[in-house]
Amino acid sequence: MSFLPHRPAEPPAVTGIPDFRTPGTGLYDRLSHYNLPRPEDIFDIHYYRGNPRPFVEFCGETWPGRDGGPAPTPSHRFMGLLGDAGVLRRVYTQNIDGLESLAGVGPDALVECHGGFGSASCATCQEDADVGACREAMVVRKEVPTCAQCGGPVKPGIVFFGEKLPARFGKLVKADVHACDLLIVIGTSLAVDPVASI
């Protein structure tokens, strides 16, 4: 038997991560102190290239795996247990929180549809960068990491507005859907494509 869990774009509050759109408590409402033209600009590649500071500060507060940071929930651990039992085909998540990895879902069994914090690259020339150095700069030193190649700002492998989804999603999704015995959808409005179309 093969299972294919899908996690939504709106993370549950129990992880310690606010959702994006809830009035008053959602992430977009909590970004006013950054003086962004629009809250979504914190995840816009063009805005980041010109002003990376708000996103760098945001990462200092939200980078997965840091002490006191977001932690896997029972549903994350359940996916890890499915993997341990050998019945997990793949987890597709729109979340960038990395909690599936922290719960033990292996990299072959995970598709982070909107990227994540496990890699880094230059926002200008797209040169791969050391993710540890990116984390150190953003979380510890509160600085904008820069590219050794061109001097542009480096960012974690999160897919920003204006960037393409990782090729891994398109490469695997059709075969996974056809091969799974059970598709488990956990807490979503099914409003954000392409994952909503699975």
pLDDT at 42: 93
Locate 103 and state its tokens.
């719960």
Extract the residue ranges of the chain whose pLDDT is less than 50: 8-12
Find out whether 115 and 158 touch, Cβ atoms under 8 Å: yes
Q: State pLDDT tens for residues 82-123.
A: 999 999 999 998 888 888 999 999 999 999 999 999 999 999
**Is 6 labeled as catalytic in the residue annotation?**
no
pLDDT at 24: 76
β-strand partners of 5: 184
Residue at token pair 């341990």 = 84
Sheet of 128-129: strand order equals 128-129, 115-122, 154-158
Q: State pLDDT tens for residues 166-179.
A: 899 999 999 999 99
DSSP 8-state class, residue 40: G
pLDDT at 31: 81
pLDDT at 70: 77
pLDDT at 11: 47
Residues 6+ apart with CB under 8 A from 108: none
What would the DSSP string read from start to end of 145-198? -B-TTT-PBEEEEEPPBTSPPPHHHHHHHHHHHHH-SEEEE-S--S-STTGGG-
Phi and psi at 92, nearest 5°, equal -105, 125
pLDDT at 3: 54
Residue at token pair 């002003």 = 51
Out of 6, 46, 114, 178, which one is annotated catalytic? 114
Q: Put residue 115 in one of left, alpha, beta given phi > 0 → left and psi -120 to 50 → alpha.
A: left
Give the distance from CA 46 to its chain's centroid.
Answer: 19
pLDDT at 197: 81
Overall pTM > 0.75: yes
